[in-house]
């Protein structure tokens, strides 16, 4: 059994670690005008910002930590009305689910919210996408559910350079989780019980699940508020959707539970390809209001970010990939 005090990810240089904002972006994140920000800094309500050199110009620069502290100083409440638990799941593999989940969690944390990203897959791809080495992690969700080790003793703090982004990592040590859960009383609710112990600690909990029917995935479904289902614009994706919705109906019948919100997210979309257009139209026709307005377009920036194990917002902040993730956050959380 692994027992340890939670650790932090290695720290990059200051502004890379901070995920720096410019003045206008910072004011927008606070929900105030640029003029109000200037006034607060002049009168000392907010501290003078740091500077970064861009060419021959010294620009104001703010970190996510500055955003969090400024909300407190100005008495600005969290932009969320209530905490959310959000699961990314599809029973068809290869739909880009983990890459979207990792970048989504990072973008939410860039809004100054406290985020916990939970990797439910023994392959550890979410862990890796957020800059951590899965094999180097001494504890996983297995320790939480098998041995009742508190999440705050297993999580890795300050992932991807953000002090408010924690990761509950995964690696091959998570593999026995199905056997562990099968031997528990109330086995379907073990994950919910663990997450209930985190109430008040996080604004958003993002879970990334493997593409299979399993007791762990049932635990995840019964523990969440929102289910996000990434789907590619190909007709094979219908199989994953069909199986998933059949299982959701079984969950509703057996447990009297269904997520508050289910959103089908079209991923890998290419507007110029007739197959993408036809497949998207078919998904929208069949699933109607469950299909999210946000569409994640096909972008090489996702591949580049994944290869470098960094968020796309840091690798290519002006890319369509970053813009689509931003739109997804806005649609799902209203921020």
CATH number, domain containing residue 206: 3.40.50.300
> Would you state the pLDDT for residue 191?
98
Estimate to the nearest angstrom the gap between the alpha carbon of 117 and the chain centroid: 6
pLDDT band with cut points at 50, 70 and 90 for residue 9: low
Same domain, 70 and 84: no
pLDDT at 72 over 70: yes
Q: How many domains is the chain built from?
A: 2
Can you tell me the mean pLDDT for 71-84? 95
Residue pLDDT, tens place only, 199-233: 999 999 999 999 998 999 999 999 999 999 999 98
Looking at residue 11, its pLDDT comes to 42
Token pair belonging to 324: 């689509």
What torsion do the CA atoms of 116, 318, 31, 330 make, to the nearest 10 degrees?
A: -60
Of 80, 61, 166, the C-alpha closest to 116 is 166
Q: What Rg do the C-alpha atoms of the chain give, in angstroms? A: 20
One domain for residues 172 and 107 = yes
Considering the domain boundaries, does residue 315 fall inside one? yes
> Helix axis angle, 64-74 relative to 23-30, nearest 10°?
50
Looking at residue 66, which CATH number applies to its domain? 1.10.1660.10
Query: Which residues, 6+ apart, have CB-to-CB distance to 87 below 8 Å?
Result: 207, 208, 209, 220, 221, 223, 224, 226, 227, 228, 259
Q: Are 73 and 195 in contact (CB under 8 A)?
A: no
What is the tens place of the pLDDT at every residue in 109-126? 999 999 999 999 999 999
* pLDDT number for residue 15: 37
**For 171-207, what is each residue's pLDDT tens digit?**
999 999 999 999 999 999 999 999 999 999 999 999 9
pLDDT of residue 8: 56
**267 and 118 inside one domain:** yes
Alpha-carbon span 108 to 122, nearest angstrom? 24
- Is the separation of the CB atoms in 219 and 191 below 8 Å? yes
When the pLDDT of each residue in the chain is averaged and rounded to a whole number, the result is: 91
Write down which residue in 74, 106, 121 finishes a domain. Answer: 74
The answer to whether residues 84 and 70 belong to one domain is no
- Do 194 and 267 lie in a common domain? yes
State residue 19's pLDDT score: 59
Among residues 279, 294, 290, the alpha carbon closest in space to that of 244 is found at 290
* Residues 204 and 59 sit within 8 Å (Cβ to Cβ): no
Each residue of 165-194: b (16+ CB within 10 Å) or e?
Answer: bbbbbbbebbeebeebbeeeeeebbbbbeb
Answer whether 19's CB lies under 8 Å from 68's CB: no
Is residue 176 domain-shared with residue 63, that is, in the same domain?
no
């Amino acid at each position: 059994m692994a027992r340890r005090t939670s650790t932090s990810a290695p720290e990059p240089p200051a502004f890379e670690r901070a995920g720096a904002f410019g003045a206008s972006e910072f004011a927008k994140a606070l929900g105030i005008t640029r003029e109000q920000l200037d006034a607060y800094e002049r009168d000392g309500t907010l501290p003078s910002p740091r500077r970064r050199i861009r060419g021959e110009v010294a620009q104001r620069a703010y970190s996510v930590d500055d955003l969090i502290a400024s909300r407190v100083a100005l008495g600005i409440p969290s932009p969320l009305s209530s905490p959310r638990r959000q699961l990314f799941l599809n029973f068809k593999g290869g739909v880009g689910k983990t890459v979207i989940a990792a970048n989504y969690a990072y973008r939410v944390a860039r809004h100054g919210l406290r985020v916990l990203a939970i990797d439910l897959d023994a392959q550890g791809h979410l862990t890796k996408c957020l800059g951590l080495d899965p094999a180097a992690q001494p504890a996983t969700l297995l320790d939480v559910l098998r041995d009742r080790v508190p999440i705050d003793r297993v999580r890795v703090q300050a992932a991807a350079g953000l002090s408010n982004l924690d990761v509950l990592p995964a690696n091959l040590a998570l593999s026995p989780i199905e056997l562990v859960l099968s031997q528990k009383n109330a086995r379907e609710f073990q994950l919910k019980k663990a997450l209930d112990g985190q109430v008040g600690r996080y604004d958003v909990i993002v879970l990334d699940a493997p593409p299979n029917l399993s007791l762990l995935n049932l635990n995840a479904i019964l523990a969440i508020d929102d289910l996000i289902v990434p789907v590619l614009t190909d007709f094979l994706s219908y199989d994953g959707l069909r199986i998933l919705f059949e299982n959701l109906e079984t969950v509703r019948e057996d447990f009297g539970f269904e997520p508050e919100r289910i959103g089908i997210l079209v991923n890998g979309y290419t507007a110029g390809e007739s197959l993408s257009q036809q497949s998207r139209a078919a998904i929208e026709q069949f699933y109607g209001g469950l299909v999210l307005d946000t569409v994640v377009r096909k972008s090489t920036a996702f591949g580049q970010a994944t290869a470098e194990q960094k968020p796309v917002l840091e690798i290519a902040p002006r890319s369509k990939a970053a813009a689509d993730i931003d739109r997804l956050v806005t649609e799902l959380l209203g921020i």
